């Protein structure tokens, strides 16, 4: 039996509620040298066609955020607009170290102007898969 990303996320929801686990969409959460994207399959909130979820990302090399500040990894809250099939960051904690280690170097609030979830320069790019899966998940 083959499950798509939405099916796998759905299967993991009950386990995640008990354990607080992350679902790895791409990469390896134990290897700081690779691009990794993880989603908490349990939504923080749902309001009609809008869903808020935690997403965390490790980049294979240092990058700059929207404020032009360096980071290697970040933890974020993302609002999924399922009607328009888009997602945007509303909060993010950026780390200078890979794999979310150490204290955040920057904490940003984008609530008034969400930043698009795009995963630039990541191949294969998981953006559309994550949006589709998040919008299929119940609750």
pLDDT at 139: 58
Report the pLDDT averaged over residues 4-19: 45
Query: Is 74 within 8 Å of 56 (Cβ atoms)?
Result: yes
Instruction: Decide if pLDDT at 41 tops 50.
Output: yes
Q: How far apart are CA 74 and CA 104, in angstroms?
A: 8
12, pLDDT greater than 70: no
In terms of Cβ atoms closer than 10 Å to its own Cβ (0-12, 13-18, 19+), residue 76 is buried
Q: CA angle, 136 as apex, 86 and 90 as ends, to 5°?
A: 35
> From CA 138, how far away is CA 53, in angstroms rounded?
12
Question: Which domains can be identified in the chain, with CATH numbers?
Answer: 5-136 (2.40.128)
Average pLDDT over residues 13-32: 76
Q: Is the pLDDT of residue 11 over 80?
A: no
Q: Across all residues in the chain, what is the average pLDDT?
A: 89
Work out whether strand 36-39 and strand 23-26 pair parallel, antiparallel, or are unpaired. antiparallel
pLDDT of res. 137: 76
Distance (Å, whole) CA 122 – CA 35 = 7
pLDDT digits (tens, 9 = 90+) for 71-123: 999 999 999 999 999 999 999 999 999 999 999 999 999 999 999 999 999 99
Per-residue pLDDT at 4: 53
């Amino acid at each position: 039996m083959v499950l798509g990303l939405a099916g796998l996320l759905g299967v993991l929801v009950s386990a995640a509620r008990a354990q607080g686990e992350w679902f790895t969409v791409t990469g390896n959460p134990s290897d700081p040298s690779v691009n990794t994207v993880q989603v908490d399959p349990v939504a923080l909130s749902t309001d009609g066609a809008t869903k808020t979820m935690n997403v965390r990302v490790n980049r294979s090399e240092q990058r700059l955020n929207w404020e032009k500040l360096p980071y290697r990894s970040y933890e974020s809250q993302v609002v999924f607009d399922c009607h328009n099939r888009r997602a945007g960051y509303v909060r993010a904690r950026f780390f200078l170290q890979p794999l979310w280690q150490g204290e955040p170097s920057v904490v940003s609030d984008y609530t008034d102007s969400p930043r698009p979830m795009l995963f630039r320069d990541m191949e294969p790019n998981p953006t559309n898969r994550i949006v589709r899966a998040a919008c299929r998940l119940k609750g």
